[in-house]
A and B are shown apart, each in its own frame.
Chain A
Amino acid sequence: MSFSPSVPGPPAGSPPAAPEARLPLPAKAAGVAAFFLIPVVLQKAGLGSAPYWLDVLNTVGLYAILALSLNVILGHAGMFHMGHAAFFAVGAYVTAVLNLDCGWPVLWTLPAAGLAAGLFAAVVAGPIIHLRGDYLLIVTIGIVEIIRIALTNDVFGLTGGPNGRMGIARPTVFGFRITRPQHFFYLIWFSVAVSLVLFRRLELSRFGRALRFIKEDPVAAEGIGINTSRHKLLAFVIGAVWAGFAGTIYAARMRTISPDSFNFSESVLLFTIVILGGSGSRRGVLLGSFLVMGLPELFRGFQESRLLVFGAALVVMMIFRPQGLLPPGPAAYMLPPPWDGAPGAGGARNGAFGGGADEAGGAGGPSPPAGGPAGTGTSGEGR
């Protein structure tokens, strides 16, 4: 296949098909820049509660990374995975152990944490990947519980039992020690940005398109020659690796980790972030993280009934907007121009499909026929 992922750009006249292309690039850049100025503004405003709100934003960012990684498994591959906290836990504990027992600098443990979480996912997901929806759900919940119990029981004498591990070192970036919430803000939200970009590339890649196909119709996907279980397993592993990375950041930020931070409720929270925001949509997942992790902080005064309202809101949401707040748009891949078409026609066609197609890419170079597979690109999600 010769599809190249569409480049984000201004809408080319046609009504925007993909939500990803809704905002023009300068607006996006300005938004991102404004967001990264938040710590500075909060500092200048001299609010006493500034560190608190930065901490809230950091939590939102951390959960955004986790939810984005879960989104690959749940949103793209369509597997009911409610055990993401397990991979997160593996990453966090690997970081803690390597830092405390082997003296590795915290951020240097990142690859090891991701690798360990990915390996763990490959081992446990291998035998269960073929399980049907609800069975997979309960098994992944079981995995979280097993991990939590193993951590509580001080498995291998490394996890510190119910109290967890304490005193993880501060991370340093190029000799700069990250200690305050505003420092973590940049570390975490930079990671969110990287995750967003990479997961976008993943979604548009051949692998990402195959996942979408598997989610829409596993039988047809298998029929066309996609190895569904291998793709699903790989999606699991990718999501787990990323959750492992998030575990490193979490351990570095909290400095103390204990089994209670990685329980079933945590997994449920991640699950609801993805579904509430819009399963399969990065923007939705980001919004979901803000709503689930950030919004309740505004209602600290109503501590007791916060979760009550959250539960009721989930029910109401599912009744009136089951696809999530910001569902993904129909797939928009940049199609190669028609075999015998004029350059102009090719451009028009791209514009109609992608919204964000750029003329140069559409017109240039010898192009293969737009054959049958083009159909996959336009499969909407029945909305």
Chain B
Amino acid sequence: MDFFIQQFCNGLTTGGIYALIALGYTMVYGVMKLINFAHGELFTLGAFLGYLLLVTLGLAGAVGPALGLALSIVTVSGLVAAAGHLLERVAYRPLRNSDRLAAVVSALGASIFLQNAIMIVWGSQYRAYSARLLPAVSLDVLGQPIPLIRILVFAAAAALMLLLWLFINRTRTGLAIRAAAIDQGAARLMGIDVSRVIAVVFVIGPALGGLAGLMAGLLYGQINFNMGQLYGLKAFTAAIIGGIGNIQGAMIGGLLLGLLESLGAAYVSVAWKDAITFVVLIMILVVRPTGLLPERVAEKL
């Protein structure tokens, strides 16, 4: 039972990270019907920008861990959001009216470009987040010591998701995003500036993805230029499990996937951990071809 609680908490933390990345995929897909393959690289970019601020520049040491962390959260989300916006401008906007396949390939190209740009800047070896950034304290959860960082990451992920949920469901811009996801043409007729909606989506999604990168760096302690590939694939899997285009679905899908992976690694096999994810994905899609929760994407005939 103790072991189970440990694994469950691990799964929730990883799942929180997956969910944050998955939100970027699902929002972009909802509005543009495009798999943003470069999203995983934005996640990596977030991790490396965090590394630059916290380790290379020693921000946490200079102004204290709490303020340093807060500053890096703001900077990382801002910079990655800017990168995401630029990405949309350069690689996706010119393709808005063209073939779906062309957009997919453009996304792949952007992903390859970003991955290699990161490799050229930071090198191809692993980089270590120093362990002394945060005090190594453990808190007691149901009688189990859980490292503070895990709790912080999960709390941050949950808070961000709550904020996003409020934004999507309680603001006019959120309403516009939902409307554009259901039917772009009709949304346009209702006076919604779809271009602006896309721009907003490409700011929020990358910001969340970048923060997830920062969290992954803090949580696992080491980062690599191609880490975004596997995270991206898994997060996209999470988005699909939750029904793509469905924002709540992406959150639930991410958490589910994190739990599944962590418990699968614990009780089935560590070596097959990543395979379990994809096997489950395939099984879910075979039984329910549009994900567990209903997708929020209109299909045209």
Residues of A at the B interface (CB closer than 8 Å) are 80, 127-128, 130-135, 137-139, 141-143, 145-146, 149-150, 152-153, 219, 264, 268, 271-272, 275-276, 279, 304-305, 307-308, 310-315, 317-319, 322-323
Residue from A133, A141, A311, A319 within 8 A of B114 (CB atoms): A311
- Does B1 sit at the interface, judged by CB under 8 A? no
Write the nearest CB–CB distance from A149 to chain B, whole angstroms.
4
The answer to whether A315 and B109 have CB atoms under 8 Å apart is yes
Can you pick out 24 interface pairs between chain A and chain B where the beta carbons lie within 8 Å of each other?
A127-B282, A135-B240, A135-B289, A138-B233, A139-B281, A139-B282, A139-B285, A142-B278, A150-B275, A264-B233, A271-B105, A275-B101, A304-B116, A304-B120, A308-B113, A312-B113, A314-B109, A314-B110, A315-B91, A315-B113, A317-B105, A318-B103, A319-B94, A319-B95
Instruction: Indicate if B272 sits at the interface (CB-CB under 8 A).
Output: yes
Whether the Cβ atoms of B229 and A131 lie closer than 8 Å is: no
- What residues of chain B lie closer than 8 Å to A310, measured between beta carbons? 109, 112
With A219-B301, A322-B98 known as contacts, the answer to whether A315 contacts B116 (CB < 8 A) is: no
Give every chain B residue within 8 A of A318 (Cβ-Cβ): 95, 98, 102-103, 105-106, 109
The CA of A127 and the CA of B108, in the complex, are separated in Å by 26
Question: Given A128-B286, A138-B237, A307-B112: A314 and B101 within 8 A (CB)?
Answer: no
- Give the distance in Å from the alpha carbon of A134 to the alpha carbon of B108 in the complex: 14
Q: Which residues of B contact A (CB under 8 A)?
A: 29, 35, 90-91, 94-95, 98-106, 108-117, 119-120, 229, 233, 236-237, 240, 244, 271-272, 274-275, 277-279, 281-282, 285-286, 289-290, 299, 301
A-B CB contacts (within 8 Å), total count? 128
In the bound complex, do residue A149 and residue B272 qualify as a contact, i.e. CB atoms below 8 Å apart? Answer: yes
Question: Is A153 in contact with B233, judged by CB distance below 8 angstroms?
Answer: no
Q: Is the CB of A138 within 8 A of B240?
A: yes
CB-nearest residue of chain B to A308: B116
Closest residue of A by beta carbon distance from B240: A138
Closest 9 CB pairs of A and B: A314-B109, A311-B113, A311-B112, A142-B278, A322-B102, A318-B106, A308-B116, A315-B109, A149-B275
B100: nearest residue on chain A (CB-CB)? A133
A153-B240 in contact (CB<8A): no
Contact of B275 with A314 in the complex, beta carbons under 8 Å: no
Decide if B289 touches A132 in the complex (CB within 8 Å). yes
Q: Are B281 and A138 in contact (CB under 8 A)?
A: yes
Q: How far is the CB of B241 from chain A (nearest CB, A)?
A: 10
Q: How far is the CA of A232 from the CA of B268 in the complex (A)?
A: 35
B160 to chain A, nearest CB (A): 24
- A302 vs B142: C-alpha distance in the bound complex, in angstroms? 56
Q: Are A315 and B285 in contact, with the CB atoms below 8 A?
A: no
In the complex, what distance in Å separates the CA atom of A264 from the CA atom of B226?
Answer: 12
Q: Are A272 and B105 in contact (CB under 8 A)?
A: yes
Instruction: Using CB atoms, name the residue of chain B closest to A133.
Output: B100
Q: In whole Å, how far is B250's beta carbon from the nearest beta carbon of chain A?
A: 14
Q: CA A219 – CA B300 in complex, angstroms? A: 12
Bound: A47/B29 CA distance, A: 52
Within the complex, which residue of B90, B101, B229, B286 is in contact with A80, where a contact is CB–CB below 8 Å? B101
CA distance A141 to B108 in the complex (A): 13
Q: Are A145 and B274 in contact (CB under 8 A)?
A: yes
Q: A133-B100, A318-B95 are in contact. Are A307 and B116 (CB under 8 A)?
A: yes
A79 to chain B, nearest CB (A): 11
Contacts of B98 in A (CB 8 A): 318, 322
Contact assessment for B285 and A128 in the assembled complex, using a CB-CB cutoff below 8 Å = yes
Complex Cα distance, B99 from A133, in Å, reads 12
Q: Residues of A contacting B100 with CB < 8 Å?
A: 133
User: With the chains together, A315 CA to B116 CA distance in Å?
Assistant: 14
Contact of A128 among B94, B99, B275, B282 (CB under 8 A): B282
Instruction: Return B102 CB to nearest CB of chain A, in Å.
Output: 3
Q: Could you say which of B91, B116, B278, B282 contacts A305, with CB atoms under 8 Å apart?
A: B116
Cβ–Cβ < 8 Å partners of A319 in chain B: 94-95, 106
Closest A residue to B271 using CB positions: A153
A275 touches B35 (CB 8 A): no
- Residues of chain A within 8 A (CB-CB) of B281 are 138-139, 142
Q: How far is the CA of A31 from the CA of B174 in the complex (A)?
A: 60
**How far does the alpha carbon of A102 sit from the alpha carbon of B289 in the complex, in Å?**
41
Contacts of B113 in A (CB 8 A): 308, 311-312, 314-315
B298 to nearest A CB, angstroms?
12
B-chain residues with CB within 8 Å of residue A142 when the two chains form the complex = 233, 237, 277-279, 281-282
Measured CA separation A143–B286 after assembly (Å): 13
Determine how close the nearest CB of chain B comes to the CB of A266; give it in whole angstroms. Answer: 13
Do B109 and A312 touch across chains, with their CB atoms under 8 A apart? yes
Is B278 a contact of A143 with CB atoms below 8 Å?
yes
Measured in the bound complex, the distance between the Cα atoms of B243 and A342 in whole Å is 60
- Tell me which residues across on chain A come within 8 A of B285, comparing CB atoms: 128, 131, 135, 139
- Bound: A79/B120 CA distance, A: 34
Given A308-B117, A312-B113, A153-B272 contact (CB < 8 Å): yes
Q: Please, which residues of chain A bring their CB within 8 A of the CB of B286?
A: 127-128
Query: Is the pair A322, B95 in contact by a Cβ cutoff of 8 Å?
Result: yes
Is there contact, CB below 8 Å, between A145 and B108? Answer: no
Distance in Å from the Cβ of B94 to the closest Cβ of chain A? Answer: 4
Q: Are A308 and B279 in contact (CB under 8 A)?
A: no
B-side contacts of A311, CB under 8 Å: 109-116
Please state if B229 and A264 are interface contacts (CB–CB under 8 Å): yes
Report A-chain residues with C-beta under 8 Å of the C-beta of B282. Answer: 127-128, 139, 142-143
Contact of A146 among B240, B275, B299, B301 (CB under 8 A): B275
Query: When the two chains form their complex, are residues B289 and A149 in contact, meaning their CB atoms are under 8 A apart?
Result: no
A302 to chain B, nearest CB (A): 11
B95 neighbours in A (Cβ, 8 Å):
318-319, 322
Q: Which residue of A lies closest to B226 (CB)?
A: A265
Are B110 and A315 neighbours in the complex by a CB distance under 8 Å? yes
Residues of B contacting A268 in the complex (Cβ-Cβ under 8 angstroms): 108, 112
